[in-house]
Chain A
Amino acid sequence: MRRISFAIAAAIALGGVWGSAMAEDVQPGLQKEVTLADGCLSQEGAEFKDGKWVLPDGTPTFHVCHKDDKYVVDWATYNGYRRYHGECHVCHGPNGLGSTYAPALAHSLQTMDYGTFLGTVASGRTRDEAGTKFVMPAFGDNKNVMCFINDLYVYLKARSFEALPAGQLGGRNRDEKPQQARDEEKACLGS
């Protein structure tokens, strides 16, 4: 049951995702990619609030700046990048590009809404393709994944657009770690 409570907690944290999504007739997370006033790429309606970029319906999003031949991403996208390459890439391949073993999430996130993403990561998924079984495990009990589920989501979301090309991010490619992120990491992982 811990698994379910995690997913629900995440949904509540979003503050009314479901209702506003219906009103705007765009499923949470499927908003268009736009160039913001600061010249950086994000999704339509993105705002910086409490240390992270969010959409009007409360869905988290990315913020990617490409200036002077250098990429700089927000902390959440960066943390998603590194957590992805710690937890997910052994199956889903580097940069969300897929492998012989599991699908390319950079493609999946083009059509998968935020709620489906959360549910799939928390509860897992199985598929049978011509007798070959593909099994995504349930990560609902895994703090290393669930504590950073929004960061993983925004990284893959950025990858699903052309905003963030495949490649690696280093220390100079990110914004500073906001205090909110530090506090949340500590509260969720413990110690």
Chain B
Amino acid sequence: MRKSVFAGALVAAAAFSAPASANDSVIKCIADENNWCMQQHDYSATRYSSLDQINTKNVGNLKVAWTFSTGVLRGHEGSPLVVGNTMYLHTPFPNIVYALNLDDENRIIWKYEPKQDPSVIPVMCCDTVNRGLQYADGKLFLHQADTTLVALDAKTGKEVWKAVNGDPKRGETGTGAALVVGDVVMIGVSGAEFGVRCFFTGYDINSGKRLWRGYSMGPDDEILFNPEKTMSLGKPVGKDSSLKTWTGDQWKLGGGSIWGWYAWDPKLNLVYYGTGNPSTWNPAQRAGPDGKQIDQKWSMSIIARNPQTGEAAWAYQMTPFDEWDYDGVNEMILVDNMEVKGKKHNVLVHFDRNGLGYTVDRESGIPLVAEKYDPVVNWTTGVDLDPKSPTYGRPAVVASKSTFLNGPDVNTTDVCPAALGTKDQQPAAYSPLTGLFYVPTNHVCMDYEPFKVEYTAGQPYVGATLSMYPPKGESHMGNFIAWDASKGKIVWSNKEQFSVWSGVLTTAGGIACVGTLEGYFKCVDQKDGKELYKNRTPSGIIGNVFTYGHKGKQYVGVFSGVGGWAGIGLAAGLTNPTDGLGAVGGYAGLNSYTALGGSLTVWSLP
């Protein structure tokens, strides 16, 4: 544990010298690597721990140290938090919170269960997952399924305040973890599949008072974009940057869900997050006044905002006029001084659902690298990075894969990736040991047929059918890869039978650990991907691997409990991509490997 204290001191020094006001308690908590204070591990969302007691040499000796059943059957995303001698666990709906005493055989100190109307369950497209708690100032922040944000006293589990962020009757739901910066706690809202105009909101951590709200689309004063100061691709966005990219008042049902993992740069004092798809999935219904593609800003974008005022510093739209449900919500990982094309940048790295790995200068918002992180990605030939080009910043869409050009009632076949993306919410990790990113991916393609739908408040507003299957000629549906974000190249790639739907942990011990949908917990060598340890958990893993130290011992843990989009798409078995209705048998369903049930498994060296 010696190393952790040293590294912690460095982190603390760096953060305290930052000009922006930062929350001392979080900075202090992160500085002690024995803790796991944030879902993302740190504000840069690296998921890298400097703990090194468990390393490439001894990881093969790991033994299960202890386990805990959450008592909930649904899909378990996110991870517990560890602050000092207490571990805090969350569950999917009904969103129970447990505090466990690590000093007393992990006994339950308190349990909190909010009262929520179960009618929110079916409004949650794709399972009642929750991506976990956040901690600051002796408080825990829980973002409930029904969008209520609750601050709990971490000592007692008593409610300090509650804020209602949205209305599930209109299809607004909560799955994402919050982010606390200074005295502001920020959360997004989901609901693009229900025609919700989604938003990102800041609340005062002491009172729960709403400070600001930035919508994903709409008038400038509602999206908190400053026409002169908010930049995109190096230029001010100008007036009505969102409104003029929609037909009529369609922006009112615009979508743009926000539920991924956010990051914060203390020096620039900017919070980074992504927005999801425009509603509906039938692009013909969203065509421009001239019947052509229209951008639908700021859906499918990376947005940088000031956490105190909410004002956007810059935005970059990755997939203008989405035609495949490639949400831009995935995690934002911040790395300093990365050399890209001969020049050093402080970058933001983002693995998008659309199959492209983006390396963006996080001060200017200029994309530096945008490359496929799965070679099968076929909807685009690449992104135009020439600032002089009229299509600067845009992906070139392959016409035969355009569900818009092919039109409604036409089945566009063999589009890669599928709607769940080359990666979904499962967060990647960075390792400063190798300078590489460790990315859990989906290797799935689809057929997509859009059709006309009507909007009814609180009802699904989807408008497309899709079938998913492994890429032609292949039988595996996931890869665990190492990615060089400075070059946009895959360094190594390990095949997995199913999508890798678990968040990755990297450590100073040279290991990268991840879970699989069959329920395996695996650790590999960061250098070459060689498998060093494998152990079976009680259910499929869609949670994020985390680590902590307690009384001189390092522990690694992960939630198991299959579900989520993965549980829905894969539980029954994906189908064979043959035109004439092939059998499912070739691709065995996940349900022949695992069953529901949430538990935490924790490993340590004997």
Contact = CB atoms under 8 A, between A and B. Distances in A.
Contacts of A119: none
B571 A141 contact: no
Q: How large is the interface on B (under 10, 10 to 19, 20 to 34, 35 or more residues)?
A: 35 or more
Interface in A137-191: 137, 139, 141-145, 164-173, 185, 189-190
B90 interface: no
Interface residues of A, number: 51
B122 A91 contact: yes
A94 B73 CA distance: 21
Given A69-B580, A70-B580, A167-B584, A100 B74 contact: yes
B576 interface: yes
Interface in B25-79: 71-75
A136 interface: yes
B462 interface: yes
B211 interface: no
Contacts of B72: 132
A141 B459 CA distance: 8
Interface of B: 71-75, 93, 118-119, 121-123, 125-127, 193, 281, 410-411, 413, 447, 449, 451-454, 456, 459-468, 562-563, 567-569, 571-584, 589, 596
Overall SS of chain A's interface: mixed
A94 B575 contact: yes
B462 A86 contact: yes
A90 B193 contact: yes
Nearest to B572: A97
29 contacts: A69-B580, A81-B465, A82-B465, A86-B464, A87-B460, A87-B462, A90-B125, A91-B568, A93-B572, A94-B575, A97-B571, A99-B567, A100-B562, A101-B567, A124-B122, A132-B72, A132-B74, A133-B121, A136-B122, A142-B459, A143-B454, A144-B454, A144-B461, A168-B575, A168-B581, A170-B579, A171-B410, A173-B579, A173-B581
A143 B583 contact: no
Interface of A: 69-71, 81-87, 89-91, 93-95, 97-101, 104, 124, 126, 130-137, 139, 141-145, 164-173, 185, 189-190
Given A85-B466, A86-B453, A168-B581, A97 B127 contact: no
A149 to B, nearest CB: 14
A100 B568 contact: yes
A71 to B, nearest CB: 5
Contacts of B449: 82
Given A97-B573, A166-B584, A86 B463 contact: yes
A95 B584 contact: yes
Contacts of B123: 137
Nearest to B72: A132
B573 A166 contact: yes
Nearest to B463: A86
A101 to B, nearest CB: 5
Contact of B581 (A86, A137, A165): A165
Contacts of B122: 91, 124, 135-137
Contacts of A71: 580-581
